[in-house]
Amino acid sequence: MAARAIGSGIISFGLVNIPVKVYAATESAARISFHQLHDKCHGRLRQQMYCPVDDEVVPREHIVKGYEFAKDQYVLFSPEELKAIEEESTKQMEISEFVPLSAVDPLYFEAGYFLGPDKGAERPYRLLAKALEESQHAAVARYANRGKEDLVLIRPRDGGLVMEQLRYSDELRSMADVPLGEGEVKSAELALARQLVSQLSSEAFDAGKYQDRYRKRLQEIIDQKIKGEPVILSTPEAPSPQVIDLMEALKASLAKRGGAPAGHPTPDVVAERKPPKRAVEKPAASARKKNRKA
C-alpha cells in the first residue's frame, strides 16, 4: 500500500530547487494505547480545564496563554500576537551546509520523515540522493512550516532521502552534568571487554532481528481478556545490583559466548603478564675446574 503524504516542501541549494513530499517514517498503529475510564461505569473520561481560584470549570473560549516570568506572574499573549510572530510557512528547505554523516550525534535527532519527489522532480531528487550516498554526507537545512522554523538534516537512505528534525544545541544537556565517579580501568579487564565486544559484533545493524517483547506480551493478554480467558501474570526476577568481581564476570561472559573457558586466561590477558625471571646461569664445568687449579 502506497504511503500518503502528510506535507510538502522544496529542497533548495544554489540555484537548484527540488519539490518533495513528506511522509511519516513510523507506524503509530503498531503501538498499544489505553483510554482513561470511570471505574464505576467504564465510561470514557473527558478532560476539563479547572480554575482553583474561582473553583469552576473554564470553557475553551475563556482560556488564554501566558508566560510565567516570576512566581505566579504572567505576561499574556493573544491569538493575534502569537499568529503575528509565527514564521511564514514557505515550506522551503534551504540547505546551508553539507556535513559528514558520522559528524552528527544521534542525540540531536528528534523525529524522522521520509522524503519523496514531487511530480517532475524525480531526476534532481535522485541526483541529490546519489551524491549524498556516495559522499556519505548529509545536508543541514532550515524548514519553515506550520508557523515555526525547524532545523533539519536531510540524509540518504536506500536510494532515497530522509529528513531528520533536529534539536537545537541549547536543548541538549552536557555529559559534564552527569556524575561519572572515579574508576580505574585495568589493562587486563579492558582486553577482556574488547574481546567480548568483538564476539558480539555484527557487520550491520538489522532492526528486524528485534521485537517489542512488552508490546507482544501485552497484546497476548489483551486477546485473552477479550476472549474471557484467565490471565496469569508472573513478575520477572530483577537483576542483582550488587558489584561482582569484574574480571570473573568478563571471563564467564566470554565462556558463555564460546570464547576462552572461564578458568583459563585469554591470549590478550597472557600478554599483560610479566615474563618469568630468568635463572642465573651457572659457570660451565671446565671453568669451575680451572678455578679450582688456580
3-class secondary structure, 169 = helix
Residue 191 placed within a domain: no
- Taking phi over 0 as left and psi of -120 to 50 as alpha, with beta for the rest, 110 belongs to alpha
Q: Of all helices (H) and strands (E), which one includes residue 189? A: helix 187-199
Look up residue 227 and give its three cell numbers: 476472549
225, 231 Cβ separation under 8 angstroms: yes
pTM over 0.85: no
Residue 20 placed within a domain: yes
> How many of the other CB atoms lie within 10 Å of CB of 115?
28
> How many of the other CB atoms lie within 10 Å of CB of 22?
19
* 3-class secondary structure per residue, 118-160: CCCCHHHHHHHHHHHHHHCEEEEEEEEECCEEEEEEEEEECCE
pLDDT for residue 269:
44
115, 122 Cβ separation under 8 angstroms: no
22, 9 Cβ separation under 8 angstroms: yes
Domain containing 102 equals 8-26+89-171
Task: Look at the block and give the residue holding cell 577482556.
Answer: 192
Q: Total structural domains in the chain?
A: 1
Amino acid at 251: K
pLDDT for residue 242:
65
Tell me the average confidence (pLDDT) per consecutive run of 10 residues in the chain, 294 residues long.
86 90 83 90 92 93 93 91 77 92 93 94 95 96 84 95 94 91 88 87 83 85 88 75 70 72 46 48 49 48
Closest Cα to residue 1, out of 20, 27, 21?
27
Residue 80 placed within a domain: no
Identify the CATH number of the domain in which residue 151 sits.
Answer: 2.40.290.10
Residue 102 placed within a domain: yes
Residue 99 placed within a domain: yes
Does the CA dihedral 30-36-41-46 come out positive or negative?
A: negative
Residue 214 placed within a domain: no
Query: What distances in angstroms separate CA 47 from CA 39, 60, 192, 221, one per listed residue?
Result: 16, 12, 55, 28
Residue 151 placed within a domain: yes
- Distance, CA of 266 to CA of 250 (rounded, Å): 11
pLDDT for residue 232:
83
Residue 40 placed within a domain: no
- Distance, CA of 237 to CA of 221 (rounded, Å): 20
pLDDT for residue 120:
92
Q: Of all helices (H) and strands (E), which one includes residue 92? A: strand 92-100
> How many of the other CB atoms lie within 10 Å of CB of 138?
24
